[in-house]
Amino acid sequence: AQSVTQPDIHITVSEGASLELRCNYSYGATPYLFWYVQSPGQGLQLLLKYFSGDTLVQGIKGFEAEFKRSQSSFNLRKPSVHWSDAAEYFCAVGANFGNEKLTFGTGTRLTIIP
Amino acid sequence: GAGVSQSPSNKVTEKGKDVELRCDPISGHTALYWYRQSLGQGLEFLIYFQGNSAPDKSGLPSDRFSAERTGGSVSTLTIQRTQQEDSAVYLCASSLVAVSYNEQFFGPGTRLTVL
């Protein structure tokens, strides 16, 4: 069975600073990987996803993530955060055969300070 | 077009009562998923439907939890004899087809409080 770890429960960054949110997964083959964002009072929205091919994936709102098989990681990055990026971020992993559910991490809450 | 809708948005109930939570997926989406989000716990998978059938019920925490989907559209999650540990936000999502690489579109959730 697949699993996901988001080691950082809460991260605070200054507006305009760079951001990296960590995600580590466990799965025996190449997984499907996702980052979702949950803004206050709103549902989850997909930021980006990785299936295969290019290991650097571009998403919406200026986010990107890099799949590193050797480190079992799929970290989310943004070069310059905006106050509107304050939200909870969830990494998720899906199996590529025979198991159609997603397994989500526990989330990282991002706070932006002026 | 309309997104995933859930009702009620908030539900307060007394311990031991039954509750029904409703999810209306995006039109044309054949797959529907239920998750539970507890404070600090992330999203916990409960069950998913492809059409009206539920291939994976492995996440339902006890036999007090059940779900059905009729007509390939609306789904109802029922919790019988609610307990305080059932308090959480229940999220519904839908996707075109139930394969793990498809984007899931989430509803706003139902916040359940069991007193």
Chain segment B27-72, per-residue pLDDT in tens: 999 999 999 999 877 899 999 999 888 888 889 999 999 999 988 8
Residue A86 has pLDDT above 70, yes or no: yes
Residue A84's φ and ψ, nearest 5 degrees, are -75, -5
Q: Which residues of A touch B (CB under 8 A)?
A: 6, 9, 32, 36, 41-46, 49, 51, 90, 92, 94-96, 99-107
* Percentage of chain B exceeding pLDDT 90: 74
Nearest CA in chain A to B43: A104
Residue B100 has pLDDT above 80, yes or no: no
Q: pLDDT at position B58, please? A: 85
The more confidently predicted of residues A113 and A29 is A113
Instruction: Summarize pLDDT for A16-60 with one digit per residue, the tens.
Output: 999 999 999 998 787 899 999 999 878 899 999 998 888 999 999
Name every chain B residue with its beta carbon within 8 A of the beta carbon of A9: 40
Q: pLDDT at position B98, please? A: 79
Residue A89 has pLDDT above 60, yes or no: yes
Rounded to the nearest integer, the mean pLDDT of chain B is: 92
DSSP track, B58-115: TT--STTEEEEE-TTS-EEEEE-S--GGG-EEEEEEEESSS-TTSPPEE---EEEEE-
Sign (positive or negative) of CA dihedral A105, B110, A44, A100: positive
Averaged over B111-115, what is the pLDDT? 96
Contact call for A43 and B35, based on CB within 8 A: no
The more confidently predicted of residues A101 and A113 is A113
Residue A80 has pLDDT above 60, yes or no: yes
Does the CB of B39 have a partner CB in chain A at under 8 Å? no
Beta-sheet pairing, A44-50 with A64-68: unpaired
Q: pLDDT at position B71, please? A: 87
* Percentage of chain A exceeding pLDDT 90: 75
Residue B1 has pLDDT above 60, yes or no: no
Residue pair A90/A36 in contact by the 8 Å Cβ criterion = yes
Nearest to A73, CA basis, from A103, A37, A36, A33: A33
* Percentage of chain B exceeding pLDDT 70: 99
Tokens 């960590």 found at: A22
DSSP code for A22: -
Residue pair A92/A33 in contact by the 8 Å Cβ criterion = yes
Name every chain A residue with its beta carbon within 8 A of the beta carbon of B25: none
Q: Hey, which residues does B62 pair with through a beta bridge?
A: none
Instruction: Summarize pLDDT for B16-35 with one digit per residue, the tens.
Output: 999 999 999 999 999 999 99
Contact call for A100 and B98, based on CB within 8 A: yes
